Amino acid sequence: MLCEDCHENESEVLVTEVNTQGVLQEKHLCKACAAKKGYLVQKEKPIAEIFSDALKEKQEGEEEVVCNSCGTSWSDFKGKGRLGCSACYQSFGERIEKLISRVQGSTQHVGQRARSSHETSLVFKEVELKRLRKELARAIQEEEYEKAARIRDDMRKYENGP
């Protein structure tokens, strides 16, 4: 599948965003376009080390917060790197968001596509065909017949491919 931004390189990064209406939107980007848009973060250290360093940092005026359900404290989490129960996510939510943002550069999830999974590739194929059908209809409606022919050819590749 080609990058939805440059339409030249193979897409390797799947960006999933929630729009203002709460609807999930997916973008398939190549690594270069994803990096340009700030979706890829260069990691200088292994992620476990960055996470560990971020947990050890003491925030000024930091109050001790304890989960009402299991009794796990923020200090316990910082020491062990594990939460005690699902309610901890509510108790420490704001701090966890800040931590993830500091470690990843964003709280937005950006995942890479698994190339080896046959099932995953079928899902991507369906999503891409659906997108191409909409794009084809739009091109025909706007009387952009050359563009429509290219889209039709792209659809055939997906429909007849392995």
């960055």: which residue's tokens?
A: 50
Residue 104: predicted pLDDT? 65
Residue 58: predicted pLDDT? 54
> Could you tell me the two tokens for 35?
């990096």
pLDDT in tens, 40-68: 765 555 555 655 555 555 555 567 889 99
Q: Coil, strand or helix: which one is 67?
A: coil
Provide the 8-state DSSP code for 64: P
Helix (H) or strand (E) holding 16: strand 13-18
pLDDT in tens, 24-44: 788 899 988 988 887 776 555
Distance CA 51, CA 56 (A): 9
> Could you tell me the two tokens for 5?
């931004």
> Could you tell me the two tokens for 114?
């698994």
> Could you tell me the two tokens for 45?
């250290």
pLDDT in tens, 78-133: 777 788 898 988 888 888 887 777 766 665 656 655 555 565 667 778 888 888 99
Provide the 8-state DSSP code for 82: -
Global pTM reads: 0.34
Residue 139: predicted pLDDT? 92
* Domain coordinates in residue numbering, the chain: 1-41+109-113, 47-104, 116-162
